[in-house]
Structure 1
Amino acid sequence: RPGGDRIYGVFDHQLPAALKKLPFDRHLSLKNVQKVVTEADGYQPHLIAPEQGYRRLIDGSITYFKGPAEASVDAVHFVLKELVRKSIAETEELKRFPSLQNDIATAANEALERFREESRKTVVRLVEMESSYLTVDFFRKLHAAPEKKPEKNGNPPGPNNDHFHDTSLARIGSNVSAYIAMVSDTLKNTIPKAVVYCQVREAKRSLLTHFYAQVGRK
């Protein structure tokens, strides 16, 4: 049955829209960046590259991706379930055997549930992988970037200088935001691949395999 357009709609519209709505602005606000960096690196952190602060901010941001990833799995599951329901209902031969029709519908739905569970595990792993191993070049570029010195005003720069402090925190938030945008672009491509592989592909290949095996044993 045709249904590809609805599935592509999940990937082309629903997923990107959900990713855009994630509360990164709040998570990477100056106030929250300061809180996370202070807790991670101490009350007088090296603000140019507080590595633990970066990691916690990135981990916290990446966690938000689990919601849209799982929602994509559920949306595709709903489409597949509807397609199966309509296909069974419109198959003339099955209308003569209501008991068999019901058994096939039950078996198909149980299979779709298994595919959904495997898909959910896979997309969550994709998100967690982004958190467990950060792109090394990101930190290399941070350490290699020249430090921007505050304007000379007769006072030596230091962690207690409010302007320098806020500028450094804003730069940390901006750097994390750029990294998260890169991760978002990656997941925007890998989540659909995982969902298609685990759900759509399996639905085409083995929707009733378990049912046939059970019938064969009777």
Structure 2
Amino acid sequence: MALRKLPFDRHLSLQNVRKVVSEADGYQPHLIAPEQGYRRLIDGALNYFKGPAEASVDAVHFILKEIVRRSIGETQELKRFPSLQAEIASAAYDALERFREDSKKTTLRLVEMESSYLTVDFFRKLPLEAEKGGDPTFSNIDRYAEVHCRRIGSNVSSYVGMVSQTMRNSIPKAVVHCQVKEAKRSLLDHFYTQVGKKEGKQLAELLGEDPALMERRQKCARRLELYRKARDEIDSVSWAE
């Protein structure tokens, strides 16, 4: 995933941190303060992972389609039956499309899961901030001071970095499980089921040969028959002599 290109610096800039924190009040001050500001910053940052996650799914989908295309094109036996070849290709592509949709749902769910529930232990290990001590002289203006906002931005950046490492491992695993493994296990299962429902005439249509190839084979058969007749004619003349 192109995680390095994600605009975390802009999202966690001093101006944006101050803006988000000033607009959010937490409902769990015992956890992190300002808790709701942290949550909004983290949620906004983690949403950036959705784009690379979907891009990973699409990249694997493209590779699998190319493998299918080459495999079908290089199978000599299928070249005799273009209808069957086209039917297999269509069924394989439909299956890959289903695998891609399942993979996207799974990878996006992983990102949403990280956004919906924070790893509390990470924040419990952070140094206690002055305002959490309940200092009565701590004003709302101080709450949004530059040093305080920079610390929040740094903490969120560290948390996003931790989640990023998790995503680097979990998203590729999800993609392999939902697309690569499924393609290997059940790429043409649906096709086999549909073929089993076809009647004799429909199956015969699938096995219809390429007209050009059929005509060429018929010409060869007629030519072979002429050779045989010529051979028999020559043999009969030889015996007569």
TM class by smaller structure: 0.7 to 0.9
Q: Kindly report which structure 2 residues correspond to 1:149-160, keeping only aligned pairs within 5 A, or say none.
A: 158-160=139-141
Distance of 2:163 and 2:86 partners within structure 1: 44
Please point out which of 153, 156, 161 is paired with 1:181: 161
What is the CA distance between 1:203 and its match in structure 2?
A: 0.5
Alignment of 1:71-86 (within 5 A): 71-86=55-70
Task: Tell which structure's C-alpha radius of gyration is larger.
Answer: 2
Q: Check the 8 A contact 1:159/1:165 in 2, yes or no.
A: no
After superposition, give the CA deviation of every residue in 1:98-131 in whole Å (9 maximum; x if it has no partner): 0000000000000000000000000000000001
Q: Does 1:197 align with 2:181?
A: no
Give, in whole Å, the separation in 1 of the partners of 2:138 and 2:113: 38
Flag structure 2 segments of 5+ consecutive residues without an equivalent: 132-136, 199-241
Give the aligned partner of residue 193 of structure 2: 213
Does residue 147 of structure 1 match 2:121? no
- The alignment partner of 1:190 has SS state of helix
**Percent of aligned positions that are identical:** 72
Could you tell me the TM-score, scaled by structure 2's length? 0.74
Residue in 2 that maps onto 1:102: 86
Cα distance in 1, alignment partners of residues 9 and 75 from structure 2: 51
- Letter in structure 2 aligned against 1:91: T
Match of 2:233 in 1: none
Name the aligned partner's letter for residue 217 of structure 1. Answer: K
Q: CA deviation at 1:148?
A: 6.2
Aligned length: 190
What is the 5 A alignment of 1:104-183?
104-142=88-126, 145-147=127-129, 158-161=139-142, 165-183=145-163
CA drift of 1:205 comes to 0.5
Q: Which residue of 1 aligns with 2:214?
A: none
Query: What is the aligned counterpart of 1:51 among 35, 47, 53?
Result: 35
Q: 1:67 and 2:51 equivalent?
A: yes
Q: What's 1:6 paired with? A: none
Shift of 1:41: 2.1
User: In the alignment, does 2:7 pair up with 1:26?
Assistant: no
Cα shift readout 1:3-56 (whole Å, capped 9, x = no counterpart) = xxxxxxxxxxxx1xx1111000000000000110011129xx9xx820000000
Contact kept, 8 Å, 1:36 with 1:56, in 2: the verdict is yes
Paired AA for residue 147 in structure 1: E
In structure 1, distance between residues paired with 2:155 and 2:98: 40
Cα distance in structure 2, aligned partners of 1:127 and 1:28: 19
Q: TM-score w.r.t. structure 1 length?
A: 0.82
1: distance between equivalents of 2:167 and 2:129?
Answer: 32
CA shift for structure 1 position 197: 0.2
Q: Deviations over 1:159-180 (max 9, x none)?
A: 4359x81000000000000000
Counterpart residue identity of residue 211, structure 1: F
Q: Find the aligned partners of 1:130 and 1:205 in 2 and give their Cα distance.
A: 30
